């Protein structure tokens, strides 16, 4: 898949300086460029690399003027980084253009699916599953009975979708994601044993959601665990039963949300955060990494610590914690002084 600089310039609406016929077949960082690769220069801090890079083509900002000779062909665009991203996306889509139904795979009775399905080998599609158009399902994936998968959604290798799960359009679930496993609900008996509380709700994932590798989302006890549109979850995140996560909220890896908690829109939640069950987190909330949230949070709140405090309060208290020795020695000095 070789492509000429002039073709790329035309896709990006850019202007060529250098040889328009030079061809590339891979992408690289500017400092790691090799012959046949295309790179970009956006940050002036890295401008020195352009004089030594071996990349054949470099995308630069329109305003960039080299101070020394440059061997690479340049493509000048309004915003080099955005243009390169567009290119990456294109490149990626090409790589994702798998289609067809590979054997062996199992499509159970009552399954419906749209156009351009890719179904990898060793995939198992349960009864009455509905799959939209242009869905890509990589090998070794399991989809339980009655699940639904919207258009343009990609399930990477080894995803596990339990029965009754509903997934929207344009979603990406990475390898090892598990959706719809039982919530953790047990009723204690007098002898110390537990009875399982059956978990017969489901999970609903709306459109444009991305879920990172090995994250787990439990089905609701009753009703639905809901991931609203545009939510982005990193790897190894745990979402318990009956949780609801609002639109466009972003959560970093290894965070866990306990049962029945409701999180608002547009929140930014750091990694390794724990959020207790049965609370309500407002919109636009920011939670620092490793925090433990134990109480409702208002819209726009920013918190840190375990248990979490308002962010600035935590920072102040922690700065004193750091100097605790000094504070204690002050107290000792005072004691001595007043006992004189």
Of the residues 68, 241, 278, 311, which is catalytic? Answer: 241
Distance between CA 199 and CA 183 in Å, rounded?
6
Residue closer to its own copies, measured from CB, 132 or 264: 264
SS3 annotation, 137-181: ECCCCEECCCCEECCCCEECCCCEECCCCEECCCCEECCCCEEEE
Residue closer to its own copies, measured from CB, 21 or 330: 330
Q: Does 309 interact with its own copies (rule: CB under 8 A)?
A: yes
Residue closer to its own copies, measured from CB, 133 or 272: 272
Contacts of 194 (CB under 8 A, 6+ apart): 186, 187, 188
Q: Among 258, 263, 281, 297, which residue sits at the site for its own copies (rule: CB under 8 A)?
A: 258
Q: Does 46 interact with its own copies (rule: CB under 8 A)?
A: no
Which range binds its own copies by CB under 8 A, 5-13, 43-51, 70-78, 81-89?
A: 81-89
Paired residues of 166 in beta bridges: 148, 204
Distance between CA 122 and CA 287 in Å, rounded?
40
Distance between CA 155 and CA 205 in Å, rounded?
13
Q: Does 235 interact with its own copies (rule: CB under 8 A)?
A: yes
Q: Among 236, 262, 279, 311, which residue sits at the site for its own copies (rule: CB under 8 A)?
A: 236
Q: Does 35 interact with its own copies (rule: CB under 8 A)?
A: no
Does the active-site annotation cover 174?
no
Q: Does 7 interact with its own copies (rule: CB under 8 A)?
A: no
Distance between CA 58 and CA 278 in Å, rounded?
52
Cβ atoms 185, 199 nearer than 8 A: yes
Minimum distance between the CB of residue 8 and its own copies, rounded to whole angstroms?
A: 15
Positions in 184-203 near its own copies (CB under 8 A): 184, 186-187, 192-200
Positions in 139-158 near its own copies (CB under 8 A): 139-140, 142, 144-145, 156-158
Residue closer to its own copies, measured from CB, 21 or 334: 334
Q: Does 324 interact with its own copies (rule: CB under 8 A)?
A: yes
| Dihedral (Cα; 138, 144, 146, 152), 10-degree rounding | -20
Q: What DSSP designation does 51 have? A: G
Structure tokens at 261: 């908690």
Q: Does 131 interact with its own copies (rule: CB under 8 A)?
A: no
Q: Does 292 interact with its own copies (rule: CB under 8 A)?
A: yes
Of 210, 101, 77, residue with least CA distance to 155? 210
Residues classed as catalytic: 241
């Amino acid at each position: 898949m070789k492509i000429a600089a002039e073709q790329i310039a035309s896709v990006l609406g850019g202007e060529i300086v250098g040889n328009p016929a030079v061809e590339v077949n891979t992408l690289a960082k500017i400092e790691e460029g090799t012959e046949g690769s295309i790179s970009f220069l956006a940050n002036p801090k890295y401008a020195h690399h352009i004089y030594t890079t071996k990349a054949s083509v470099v995308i630069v900002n329109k305003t960039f003027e080299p101070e020394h000779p440059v061997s690479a062909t340049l493509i000048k665009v309004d915003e080099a980084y955005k243009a390169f991203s567009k290119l990456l996306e294109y490149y990626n889509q090409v790589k994702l253009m798998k289609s067809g139904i590979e054997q062996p795979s199992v499509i159970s009775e009552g399954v419906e699916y749209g156009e351009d399905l890719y179904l990898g080998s060793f995939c198992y599609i349960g009864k009455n599953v509905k799959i939209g158009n242009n869905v890509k399902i990589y090998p070794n994936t399991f989809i339980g009975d009655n699940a639904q998968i919207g258009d343009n959604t990609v399930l990477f290798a080894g995803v596990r979708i339990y029965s009754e799960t509903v997934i929207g359009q344009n979603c990406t679930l990475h390898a090892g994601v598990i959706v719809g496993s039982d919530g953790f609900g047990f009723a204690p008996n007098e002898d110390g044993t537990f009875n399982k509380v059956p978990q017969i709700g489901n999970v609903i994932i709306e459109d444009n959601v991305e879920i990172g590798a090995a994250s787990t989302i439990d089905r609701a006890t009753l009703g639905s665990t809901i991931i609203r549109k545009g939510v982005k979850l990193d790897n190894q995140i745990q979402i318990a039963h009956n949780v609801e996560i609002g639109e466009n909220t972003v959560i970093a890896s290894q965070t866990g949300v306990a049962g029945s908690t409701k999180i608002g829109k547009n929140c930014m939640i750091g990694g390794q955060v724990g959020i207790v069950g049965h609370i309500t987190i407002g919109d636009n909330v920011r939670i620092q990494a490793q925090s433990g949230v134990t109480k409702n949070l208002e819209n726009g709140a920013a918190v840190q610590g375990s248990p979490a405090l308002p962010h600035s309060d935590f920072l102040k208290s922690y700065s004193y914690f750091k100097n605790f020795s000094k504070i204690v020695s002050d107290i000792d000095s005072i004691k001595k002084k007043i006992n004189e």
